[in-house]
Amino acid sequence: MNNIRIFMMVAEKLNITEASKALFISQPAVSKAVKNLETSLNIKLFIRDKHNGLTLTDAGKEILVLARQMKVIENKMHQIASQESKLLRGKVKVGAFPAASTNLLPGTIAAFRSKYPLVKIELMEGTLNQIKEWVGDRTVDLGIVASPFDAYQYEILAHDYMVAIIPENHPLKQTEIINFGEHQNEFIFCKGGHETAISSTLEEHHFILQENLTVQTADTLIHMVEQGLGIGIISNFTLSSVSHHLIVKDLIPRVTREVGVIAHSFEEVTPATKEFIQAMLELYKNKTTTL
């Protein structure tokens, strides 16, 4: 397990020096551990190149996924032992997109820590596709993403829908609802995993999605709209996580999606992860209002 732990750090850093600093052991000890693991498995885990440094071999990539699973199992063993002594310890690694971190995690972490103060929580923020990949290769224990949830087990935490945002001096200020089909050439989209939901909804109503201007963050979208560059299209869930002074309008046809927590299996996660998910569900599952 010690060799595997060192291998995982080298695979993360792809640098012997950085790995040795992170592990607080010497570089020769790191190199020896990796070599011993390669010898015991009779395979090469890394390709060593003077110019490009270390890269994982195909076998090394597969071993890394299995090593992470072993680490989860080891963590689970310690947590079960701690749970038996009524003192849950360990770590929960959470993957979330920024709006979920803002809207869902503060309350969850506060509730969880009040019961399990000795459990460490590590948050990794990324795009929806990145989070699904992290759950897939077990980089994180659980992910908070928007639908579709693919093949993962999931629980829905919030019901979301797309809205339009315009500045106060916009000609559509008095319009109650903005029609997707009438103003597509004015829309500014924010990448946020809603593309599938928008495309499928518009197809049902025989509209063609036209992405004239697309930005990466909600803050950038708001700034663009404030400058009068178009009508912003963003999820209500994401919009609720940032401050703004824009007018919010409903859209037709209505585009909906769900925000949920995913894992390979809720039964197979560690005790601490299971309690973290339970704390989240108690706060948000089956709520009638959208965050």
How would DSSP label each residue in the chain? -HHHHHHHHHHHHS-HHHHHHHHTS-HHHHHHHHHHHHHHHTS--EEEETTTEEEE-HHHHHHHHHHHHHHHHHHHHHHHHHHHTT---EEEEEEE-HHHHHHTHHHHHHHHHHH-TTEEEEEEE--HHHHHHHHHTTSSSEEEEESP-TTSEEEEEEEEEEEEEE-TT-TTTT-SEEETTTSGGGEEEE-SS-HHHHHHHHHHTT-----SEEESSHHHHHHHHHTTS-EEEEEHHHHTTS---PEEEEEES--EEEEEEEES-TTTS-HHHHHHHHHHHHHHTT-SS--
Residue 33 lies in a domain: yes
pLDDT at position 200 is 76
pLDDT tens digits, 143-161:
999 988 989 999 999 999 9
Radius of gyration from C-alpha coordinates of the chain: 23
pLDDT at position 52 is 74
| Same-domain pairing of 79 and 102 | no
| Same-domain pairing of 146 and 170 | no
Average pLDDT over residues 278-291: 73
Closest CA to 262 of 246, 278, 277: 277
| Same-domain pairing of 169 and 197 | yes
Residue 62 lies in a domain: yes
How sure is the predictor about 87, in pLDDT bands with cuts at 50, 70 and 90? low
Residue 83 confidence (pLDDT) above 80: no
Average pLDDT over residues 40-53: 85
pTM over the 0.75 mark: no
Residue 289 confidence (pLDDT) above 70: no
pLDDT at position 51 is 75
Give the least confident one: 88-92, 111-115, 137-141, 233-237.
88-92
pLDDT at position 286 is 61
pLDDT tens digits, 160-217:
999 999 999 999 999 989 988 788 788 898 876 666 777 777 777 666 666 678 888 8
Residue 242 lies in a domain: yes
**Paired residues of 164 in beta bridges:** 233, 249
Average pLDDT over residues 108-123: 92
| Same-domain pairing of 247 and 267 | no
Residue 289 lies in a domain: no
Mean of per-residue pLDDT scores for the chain: 87
The top-scoring range by mean pLDDT among 50-59, 83-92, 202-211 is 50-59
**How many independent structural domains does the chain possess?**
3
Residue 48 lies in a domain: yes
| Same-domain pairing of 186 and 253 | yes
| Same-domain pairing of 124 and 247 | no
Per-residue burial over 145-157, b if 16 or more Cβ lie within 10 Å, else e, is bbbbbeebebbbb
| Same-domain pairing of 2 and 80 | yes
Residue 161: half-sphere exposure toward Cβ, Cα within 13 Å = 13
| Same-domain pairing of 165 and 244 | yes
Range of the domain at 108: 90-157+259-284
Average pLDDT over residues 81-89: 63
pLDDT at position 291 is 43
How sure is the predictor about 79, in pLDDT bands with cuts at 50, 70 and 90? confident
